[in-house]
Amino acid sequence: MPRHPFALDASSPSIIVPLTAHDLPQLEEQVAALSSRAAEVVHDAVEWRVDLFAPFIAGGGSDPAPAVSALHRIAELLPETPILATFRTIAEGGGADITPEAYLGLIGALASTGLAAAIDVEYRHPRAAEAIDVAHAHHTPVVASNHDFHGTPPVEEIVERLEAMELAGAEVAKIAVTPRTPAEVLILLDATERRHRTSGIPLITMSMGALGAVTRICGGTFGSAATFATVGSASAPGQLPAAGVRSALDLLRTRD
């Protein structure tokens, strides 16, 4: 089964919907909701949160086989939808932890299927460089990511992190920060616009929580090529319903 490409463009931001189910029956229910007539136009890609899958949240399992099997099922159910496969560690706000060696093995196992349009790699993970290399060895693009749940770094630091992800070899650079004031929301947007001017890869940026929710709609104006929105459960604070986000993005595009 060929992988559907993960194409991102800030002029028309993609809507990525998280799949957060804990087991295969729940996962199939979430996919069914996406495939329904009412929901089919609200998403461009899905992010499967592998760290929320039962074999990993049950106790840090290191066997990638259940994840590989589940990825095959998702790809079977969503043959035309790009899949971003993500194992989010607890340090970055995720639901489970595995050893650095198991993390590297999981990245390789998922990439080797050819079914993920892209693999998320936390750029500060101790095995990040190797994970990027192993994904590329299987011809799978990488979304390098960083999540700050404690605050919003200065503009220069956000720009430096996004640049570092590109220099590390990622095909997409993603950062999510936490604002404490409206001014910090502007910091994220300013940093996005600055990096977008010279970046050679697409960016995905957002301010999390209710205060930063506006960035999930207006990000494309500043250079963010995708936004995460929900059909069902959210995977991060501040995510908005996908149908509403689609309507808002369509409305913004009418300004042209």
Task: Tell me which residues are annotated as active site.
Answer: 147, 174
Tell me if residue 197 falls in helix, strand or coil. helix
Strand-pairing partners, residue 144, are 121, 173
* Residues 112, 137 contacting (CB under 8 angstroms): no
The token pair at 27 is: 């996962």
CA distance 251 to 171: 29
CA distance 141 to 9: 15
Mapped to the 3 state alphabet, what secondary structure does 135-181 carry?
HHHCCCCEEEEEECCCCCCCHHHHHHHHHHHHHCCCCEEEEEECCCC
Mapped to the 3 state alphabet, what secondary structure does 10-54 carry?
CCCCEEEEEECCCCHHHHHHHHHHHHCCCCCCCCCEEEEEHHHCH
CA distance 49 to 223: 25
* Integer angstrom CA distances of residue 166 from 8, 61, 214: 15, 31, 26
CA distance 224 to 203: 5
CA distance 170 to 143: 6
